[in-house]
């Protein structure tokens, strides 16, 4: 068992932290104020991330990506998590699901995504199909040499910026152990495709500058060559990488919580009331101790799941535990940090209010806390099922 970082891993952490501090953090205030990341700023971050070797760090080296293993990636995600979500998102790590591209799709979608020329978004959720994704109503019907897609997706992050969409649509029905269920196919759809309308979604409390959209498909034609992976096997393709995506959420929560703890510690050490630093009151210092302990525990869960993923021994419940614990930990840590700051914590001039507000979505997207608990408890009970 080895808990220390190698010299390469330490170098990675140091250089990503420096990148965050010089290339991203200076724009946090602007993004918060305007709720927008200027296209030229996105381009600048893209270019500098490519130069620094951080762009597409999750993608295989032979395709032009960074080729980082899971542990390296999670260390990077942790550091990126320290800054505004909208800014760090421009240091793109293209969806792992794109690795399922084959034939002409590799040149049309995968490689341009790795080079930073094209950006994707992922469209699964619908107004009536959230946690229960298989109940989706968007359907892709075979028609001649392709499909006709009809339906509505909502909460689709980054669809305003993206060039193409990884779309999930019902493509038929099949019998399963639990009765009839929908077959789902995944497609690569260019945003300019006729019959696709992209509309901005309602404003969210979390992650200013990072927006979500509604996608309306009305007789939208997509070719057979746009099927990602195999027809009717859309969830198989998605599930292969879902855990790794959830782990990135957890790793970012650790980074954000570390920043909140640093801010709170600094404040507790310098803010004086009743003639002494508030950190000298046990009510404050014990909060700091609990925060540090919970952050360390979450980090261990993240890195252990990443290590197991690198060894090929990871299970869904490893990812689920890391996501569940780290996202719930972030809520507690940012809340404690804000309490330690008192009234100042709520003021928008400081990043703390943002860290606290941004924490809320992490327990919802990429599978709610309740869904993570399902995954963990199912794994516990499975051996006892008759």
Ligand X SMILES: Cc1cc2nc3c(=O)[nH]c(=O)nc-3n(C[C@H](O)[C@H](O)[C@H](O)COP(=O)(O)OP(=O)(O)OC[C@H]3O[C@@H](n4cnc5c(N)ncnc54)[C@H](O)[C@@H]3O)c2cc1C
Name the residues that contact ligand X, by CB under 6 A: 121-125, 130-131, 155-157, 204, 212, 361, 364-368, 370-371, 374
Nearer to ligand X, 100 or 268 (CB): 100
Shortest distance in whole angstroms from residue 2 CB to ligand X: 35
Q: Which two tokens stand for residue 92?
A: 């793109």
Length of the chain: 386
Shortest distance in whole angstroms from residue 207 CB to ligand X: 7
Nearer to ligand X, 153 or 287 (CB): 153
Q: Which two tokens stand for residue 67?
A: 């080729």
Shortest distance in whole angstroms from residue 12 CB to ligand X: 27
Shortest distance in whole angstroms from residue 205 CB to ligand X: 9
Q: Which two tokens stand for residue 373?
A: 């608990």
Shortest distance in whole angstroms from residue 130 CB to ligand X: 2
Nearer to ligand X, 277 or 364 (CB): 364
Shortest distance in whole angstroms from residue 243 CB to ligand X: 15
Shortest distance in whole angstroms from residue 290 CB to ligand X: 25
Nearer to ligand X, 101 or 249 (CB): 249
**Cα–Cα distances in angstroms (integers) from residue 216 to residues 71, 113, 220, 235, in the given order:** 38, 24, 9, 21
| Contact assessment for residue 113 and residue 96, using Cβ atoms and an 8 Å cutoff | no
Closest-CA residue to 122 (of 168, 90, 160, 91):
168
DSSP character at residue 346 = G
Residues 6+ apart with CB under 8 A from 92: 46, 49, 55, 56, 113, 116, 119
Nearer to ligand X, 129 or 263 (CB): 129
Residues 6+ apart with CB under 8 A from 151: 126, 136, 137, 138, 139, 169, 217
DSSP character at residue 147 = E
Nearer to ligand X, 70 or 212 (CB): 212
Nearer to ligand X, 113 or 263 (CB): 113
Shortest distance in whole angstroms from residue 6 CB to ligand X: 34
Assign residue 90 a region (left: φ > 0; alpha: ψ between -120 and 50; beta: otherwise). Answer: alpha
| Contact assessment for residue 291 and residue 335, using Cβ atoms and an 8 Å cutoff | no
Nearer to ligand X, 19 or 89 (CB): 89
Burial call 87-107: b when 16+ CB within 10 Å, e when fewer: bbbbbbbbbbbbbbbeeebee
Shortest distance in whole angstroms from residue 64 CB to ligand X: 24
Nearer to ligand X, 186 or 226 (CB): 186
| CA distance linking residue 277 with residue 211, whole number of Å | 40
Shortest distance in whole angstroms from residue 159 CB to ligand X: 7
For 64, counting Cβ atoms within 10 Å of its Cβ (0-12 exposed, 13-18 middle, 19+ buried), the class is middle
Angle at 217 between CA 211 and CA 221, to 5 degrees: 125
Residue nearest to ligand X (CB): 130
Q: Which two tokens stand for residue 26?
A: 């200076």
| CA distance linking residue 105 with residue 244, whole number of Å | 23
Strand partners, 222: 147
Nearer to ligand X, 79 or 366 (CB): 366
């Amino acid at each position: 068992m080895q808990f220390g970082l190698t010299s390469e891993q330490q170098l990675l952490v140091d250089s990503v932290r420096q990148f965050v501090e010089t290339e991203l953090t200076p724009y946090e205030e602007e993004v918060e104020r305007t709720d927008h990341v200027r296209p030229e700023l996105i381009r600048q971050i893209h270019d500098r991330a490519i130069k620094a070797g951080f762009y597409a760090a999750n993608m295989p080296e032979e395709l032009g990506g960074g080729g980082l293993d899971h542990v390296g990636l999670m260390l990077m995600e942790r550091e990126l998590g320290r800054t505004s979500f909208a800014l760090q998102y421009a240091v793109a790590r293209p969806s792992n699901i794109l690795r399922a591209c084959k034939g002409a799709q590799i040149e049309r979608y995968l490689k341009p995504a790795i080079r930073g020329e094209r950006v994707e978004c992922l469209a699964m959720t619908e107004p009536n199909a959230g946690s229960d994704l298989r109940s989706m109503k968007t359907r892709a019907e075979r028609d001649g040499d392709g499909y006709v897609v009809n339906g509505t997706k909502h909460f689709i992050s980054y669809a305003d910026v993206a060039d193409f969409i990884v779309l999930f649509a019902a493509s038929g029905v099949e019998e399963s152990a639990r009765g009839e269920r929908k077959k789902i196919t995944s497609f690569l759809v260019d945003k300019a495709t006729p019959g696709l309308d992209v509309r901005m979604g309602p404003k969210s409390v979390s992650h200013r500058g990072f927006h979500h959209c509604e996608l309306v498909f009305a007789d939208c034609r997509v070719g057979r060559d746009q099927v990602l992976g195999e027809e009717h096997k859309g969830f198989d393709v998605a599930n292969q990488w879902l855990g790794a995506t959830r782990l990135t959420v957890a790793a970012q929560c650790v980074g954000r919580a570390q920043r909140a703890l640093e801010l709170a510690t600094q404040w507790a050490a310098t803010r004086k009331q009743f003639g002494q630093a508030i950190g000298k009151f046990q009510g404050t210092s014990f909060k700091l101790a609990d925060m540090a302990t919970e952050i360390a525990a979450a980090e261990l869960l993240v890195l252990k799941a990443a290590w197991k993923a690198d060894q090929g021994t990871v299970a869904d419940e490893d990812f689920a535990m890391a996501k569940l614990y780290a996202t719930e930990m972030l809520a507690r840590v940012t809340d404690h940090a804000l309490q330690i700051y008192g009234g100042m914590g709520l003021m928008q001039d400081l990043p703390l209010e943002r860290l606290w507000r941004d924490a809320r979505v992490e327990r919802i997207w990429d599978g709610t806390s309740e869904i993570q608990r399902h995954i963990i408890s199912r794994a516990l009970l499975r051996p006892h099922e008759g």
